[in-house]
Amino acid sequence: MSKVYHISSEELSLEVLNTLLSENYELALSEEAARKIEACRAYLDEKMAADQRPVYGINTGFGSLCNIKISGENLSHLQENLVMSHACGTGEKVPEAIVKIMLLLKVQSLSYGHSGVQLLTVQRLIDFYNHDILPVIYTQGSLGASGDLAPLAHLALPLLGRGEVYFKGEIKPASEVLNHFNWEPVTLQSKEGLALLNGTQFMGAYGVWSLLQGHKLSYLADLIGAVSLEAFDGRLEPFNKLIHEIRPHKGQLDTAARILEFTKGSELAQQEKKNVQDPYSFRCMPQVHGASKDALDHVTRVFGTEINSVTDNPNVFVEEDEIISGGNFHGQPLALALDYMGIALAELGSISERRTYQLISGLRGLPAFLVNDPGLHSGFMIPQYTAASIVSQSKQLATPASTDSIVSSNGQEDHVSMGANAATKCLRIVENLKSVLAIELMNASQAMAFRRPLKSSERIEVFLEKYTAEVPFVDQDRVLHDDIEQTKKFIDSLSVTSEMLGA
């Protein structure tokens, strides 16, 4: 029997989202949410019947056409036209996992009863989620300001029996999939198109996915960094809590404690050291990794607020008898946070590549390029090139998108967040970081073999045993692309845990 999560006013946290996604929960509306949605729709219908004055997005045009009044008989057609005309995304297809998060976040936002949608519309979005009917959406087209208009239009198209969806491993016309389930297309009522298209769920879904992966990779940066420290015959004194208690940034404290926990009981750590100090890439892991942790924590708080908010426009307040047009769709909080996360994750890659460089440099008794018979064999010379190239690209991608703005909609939308661009490039930085950490893990594991028979801690030895079962020691040159890809698969196979999320 499937597990079911009931959408309600209860806070949707990153940890809850991780559980829903990893354990394949189905969604359902709570009685409270269904009641709020129905009450809001009924209020809106009564309001429009009693008062014919123009209300933005309900009986007017959109954007700079907001002053054009639309007659009552055309309101449904208006909403359908809105969805079709705004579905003009381009570029690469959004990953299916992120589309699924978009569906969940859109349902959550609509469930608060401030959007004026039909219960049927929300239920159909839930049906899509539960049956893995995932609209085909494109990465380019959103300014991250009047909502993620183009991506959310593509999310909404299948409700009308238009557009394409992923279903059972294939891309199919939405109309075909609706027929498969004997579902009629939804006839949108006044305001519904705008409620579906206004919102930050594209930025939000990218942010949620990047945060889940980012917290995981931050944890693995500590673990893989600890392996590298051991392989480099590094010192543990820089992780002593006394140092960090007199500069008590939370991330710094947590990183130092974690490195000590990872290396507890290590024979390598306990042996007498010949070097008085280690390079910064080892010695300053608490300060550098810790700063990125603190950034991730800040971004998590921003997204925690966002995914539990109403972000369409206008907003309907039933009890107050108000319909108010505002700007909750503006993505500036997310744009800044996504840029910050991108910078923080790029830095984890930057320091990781430096540890890789130190490991292959023929220092501290390790052979040059971590291979027997260097010269005949190039060993791990070129993976460092690859890591350096990737790190350089991440630095370029870390240039903020949120500092840009281009006027749109004939001047009506004259400041935009560019948060969607921040979102898509942040995900690229996440993927780049995974590759760079994979290369460090390859090098650290290889270097550890040259420290035998001494052993590291039980924690690290178990981790390396699992890893080397997938990617064994490189005795002579082979195609290292395959090893990098296999290492990335190994990283992908590790689940996101509560410990990684700091829960």
Catalytic residue, from 5, 25, 43, 56: name it: 56
CATH class for the region spanning 206-501: mainly alpha
- Active-site residue flag, 138: no
DSSP string, 194-245: HHHHSSSHHHHHHHHHHHHHHHHHHHHHHHHHHHHHHHTT--SGGG-HHHHH
The residue that leads in pLDDT, 57 or 399, is 399
Kindly state the average pLDDT of the residues 460-464.
98
Token reading at 302: 């921003």
Report the range of poorest mean pLDDT among 51-55, 198-202, 340-344, 446-450: 51-55
Show the tokens assigned to 345. 């994750």
Region 384-401: what's the mean pLDDT?
Answer: 98
Residue 146's pLDDT is: 84
Q: According to the model, what pLDDT value does residue 373 have?
A: 86
For the segment 51-57, the average pLDDT, to the nearest whole number, is 71
State how far the Cα of 334 lies from the Cα of 101, in Å rounded to an integer. Answer: 16
Q: How far apart are CA 223 and CA 246, in angstroms?
A: 24
Confidence of residue 412 (pLDDT cuts 50, 70, 90): confident
Residue range 111-142, pLDDT digits in tens? 999 999 999 999 999 999 999 999 999 999 99
Give pLDDT, residue 77: 83
Rounded Cα distance, 377 and 383, in Å? 14
Q: Thinking of the domain 21-199, which architecture would CATH place it in?
A: Orthogonal Bundle (1.10)
| Domain residue ranges in the chain | 21-199, 206-501
